[in-house]
Structure 1
Amino acid sequence: MKDVLAILFTVFFSYLLGSLNSAIIVCRLWKKQDIRDYGSKNAGLTNVLRVYGKGPALATLLCDLAKGVIAVVVCRVVVHKVMGVEFFDDPHFIGYVAGLCVMLGHCFPVFYGFHGGKGVLLAATTLLAIDPLTCVCALAVFGVLLAATKYVSVGSIFAAVAYPTFTFILQRFVYNGGCAVVPNTLMGVCICVLIISLHHANIKRLMNGTENKFGQKKAAVKEGDK
């Protein structure tokens, strides 16, 4: 019974916390506007940076950093310390559940009509709280691909693939995670699939050669192109 309650607490707490979209809240408080009406219309860090600049983007970054870490840390404390539950004799698993659910809340927020951001930043911050070494490896992949292609979307997609890949490698061969390796990796796969599925529009633009590169301003729409 405690196992079920532990999962239910983790799912609902993390999802509701994730539904507090940082980009939307920051832009409404700072600019009195809805970020989903501008730029790429995504409620995420990259769009905030492109539309409003470094100040609001930094505030969004800090809020998302806090949100991901809070979800993982609070669920670990409540489930492990307060409820005395540990799944698969491993401290990581409940963190992955919290990470997936806070991302689902961020991408499909119940408070904002189930339309939110793409969850890349949040995936990184939750992974930082769950497993810092795996996070460093995934961020390295993101950095290399961004530097090589100048496409944020390409870096994000390959970092998403690196997420479960490095989760399995490190927990199987470095941490000796035992029976928790497969469940933890499957949670990573779910997060990977979620991120890639939310980049379907970017993938189409990449294939068509119309995806904007990092730091590149969108071309102004001509009167005849409207």
Structure 2
Amino acid sequence: MYTILFTIAAYLIGSISFAVVTSRAFGLSDPRTYGSKNPGATNVLRSGSKKAAIATLAGDCVKGWLAVWLAVHFGGRFGLDDGGVALVAIAVFLGHLWPVFFRFVGGKGVATALGVLLGLNVWLGLAVLATWLVVAYAFRYSSLAALVAAVMAPLYYGIGLGVDEKLFAVIFMSVLLLYRHASNITKLLAGKESRIGSKAAGAKASPKK
């Protein structure tokens, strides 16, 4: 029973789209209407507002971390085992991808996945973050960095933490990350993918009412 409650709560936490919320707070256009139309930090950055992008990144990451952290540190007293924690990790990630509060139109899940990994194990999260940063700095493609990090995450987990139910949650997230980046893979292969920091047409401040 408590496993179900934790899982539902995690999904609802994940359903908070900080890209949309932050853009509204900063008076920017809805990120679902310009650029990649993806409600995530990279697309918000295309609006030209670094502060909004950072706030989006932090919010999406923290919600993933919070849901898993609560399950890890408080779930035990309610009977949550590793399988329950794995379900919570998946639920908060699915909430971001298909948020109930935003008509099931969500982001690609990179920041939220990072938060989940940090919640599962800080060193695991930092290793994946370092991988993303190195690839992003070297090639200036956020999507490529996300793809490489997604592939490496299960490997890091298996090598460092062994095989358990939570590893399968990490594998599940990685597969979904690759799926959600299918269009980016096509653009990368065609040489048409936007680089980090490029500004998108239509990413203007919303008119004051």
TM-score relative to the length of structure 2: 0.88
Residue number among 5, 11, 30 corresponding to 1:9 in the alignment: 5
Name 1:111's counterpart in structure 2: 101
For the 8 Å contact 1:10–1:98, the answer to whether it is kept is: yes
Correspondence 1:154 to 2:128: no
> Offset of 1:94 from its aligned partner?
3.9
Correspondence 1:69 to 2:65: yes
Residue number among 183, 187, 197 corresponding to 2:169 in the alignment: 187
| Root-mean-square deviation over aligned CA pairs | 2.0
Radius of gyration: which is bigger?
1
Correspondence 1:51 to 2:47: yes
Unpaired segments of 5 or more residues in structure 1?
173-180, 221-226
For the 8 Å contact 1:76–1:94, the answer to whether it is kept is: no
Name 1:125's counterpart in structure 2: 115
SS of residue paired to 2:136: helix
> Offset of 1:78 from its aligned partner?
4.0
Residue number among 179, 183, 194 corresponding to 1:212 in the alignment: 194
Name 2:206's counterpart in structure 1: none
Name 1:169's counterpart in structure 2: 159
* Matches of 1:164 and 1:95, distance apart in 2: 16
Distance 1:219 1:23, change over 3 A: closer
For the 8 Å contact 1:40–1:47, the answer to whether it is kept is: yes
> Offset of 1:74 from its aligned partner?
2.2
Deviates more, 1:138-147 or 1:106-115: 138-147
Deviations 1:159-213 (A, max 9, x none): 01111111111112xxxxxxxx232221111000111100011011011110112
Q: Percent of counterpart pairs with the same letter?
A: 34
Greater length-normalized contact order (CA 8 Å, ≥ 6 residues apart): 2
In structure 2, give the amino acid aligned to 1:190. Answer: F
Residue number among 133, 139, 146 corresponding to 1:143 in the alignment: 133
Distance 1:142 1:62, change over 3 A: closer
Aligned length in residues: 202
SS of residue paired to 1:216: coil
Unpaired segments of 5 or more residues in structure 2?
203-209
* Matches of 2:71 and 2:200, distance apart in 1: 41
For the 8 Å contact 1:22–1:60, the answer to whether it is kept is: yes
* Matches of 1:29 and 1:215, distance apart in 2: 21
Deviations 1:30-65 (A, max 9, x none): 216422112211100001111141121122123223
* Matches of 2:63 and 2:80, distance apart in 1: 23
Instruction: State the 4+ residue runs in structure 1 displaced beyond 6 angstroms.
Output: none
> Offset of 1:217 from its aligned partner?
4.0
Deviates more, 1:113-122 or 1:206-215: 206-215
TM-score relative to the length of structure 1: 0.82
Name 2:207's counterpart in structure 1: none
